[in-house]
Amino acid sequence: MKTKGSPGYAHPFQQPVFQPEHNPHFHEDYQSYNNQYGQNRMANPIITNGGYYGPLDSHENERKSPFGQILLIVSIFVLLALCFASLVIWMLFGINLPEFQVSSLAVTDFSTASTTIVGKWDVNISIANPNDNFRAHFDHLITSIYFKDSLLAETSVPDINLFSEQNTTIHSIMATEASGAELEKTIVAEMEEERKTKKSVTFSVRLDGKSALTTKSTSKSANIKVYCDGLTVGFSDDGFGNMTEPAVECLLYPS
């Protein structure tokens, strides 16, 4: 008969001990299970109330392309340059820049030959001071006329004073003598070809000098360059021509 103390009975306060069956492939099976579990976890992410658990985007670990960074730097540089240019213009001229336009351009006695050009140029340039608190002064002014980048004639202009919201007109007469404008043959040929085919020639007028905008307490000075491009002059057969547009706006570059 078996008693409680005999080997056939477990002690009432002793947990039974089970010895697992020896498996020589236990570690291999365990590693295979882990690999299979990891693949399933990557393929089927788990979404819980606490957040998102799943495979990471492989692109997150890749280094970002430098193109976006370069584009951002260039955009910031351009923005800063525009702000700086606006600040310089405001410091030089205040809120409103003086306004220039060519109101008329007439040409007389126009002719070309080989490497020379002859003509007389009558130009009217309108200047307006749109500021209501600045007086504009212009001096050392020179008016010149160009065909492309070739200078044809130039002349000096008297000093100009403009009160607030006032305008005036610069009247310049220039003459190009036969010995005064020695040009390259290609330039003269282009001018003559343009005149024959289009019955017109496109010139440019420039105005260089100094400008000062003043009030009772402040004064802002700068050198100016005024470019009036695209002045198309229609010619008749006798060498007389007039600008085809009623007026052409000019661009002012303070420096």
What is the domain count for the chain?
2
User: Does residue 139 fall inside a structural domain?
Assistant: yes
Per residue in 132-176, pLDDT (tens digit) is 888 899 999 999 999 999 999 999 999 999 998 899 999 999 998
- Element containing residue 198 per DSSP (H, E): helix 185-198
User: Does residue 12 fall inside a structural domain?
Assistant: no
212 and 125 within one domain: yes
User: Does residue 91 fall inside a structural domain?
Assistant: no
User: Does residue 153 fall inside a structural domain?
Assistant: yes
Whole-angstrom Cα distance, residue 94 to residue 130? Answer: 11
Q: Beta partners for 24?
A: none
213 lies in which domain range? 96-254
For residues 49 and 224, the model is more confident at: 224
139 and 41 within one domain: no
Per residue in 66-115, pLDDT (tens digit) is 777 887 888 888 888 877 766 665 555 556 789 999 999 999 999 888 77
User: Does residue 76 fall inside a structural domain?
Assistant: no
125 and 33 within one domain: no
Task: Reply yes or no on whether the pLDDT at 59 is more than 70.
Answer: no
52 and 100 within one domain: no
Q: Are 210 and 222 in contact (CB under 8 A)?
A: yes
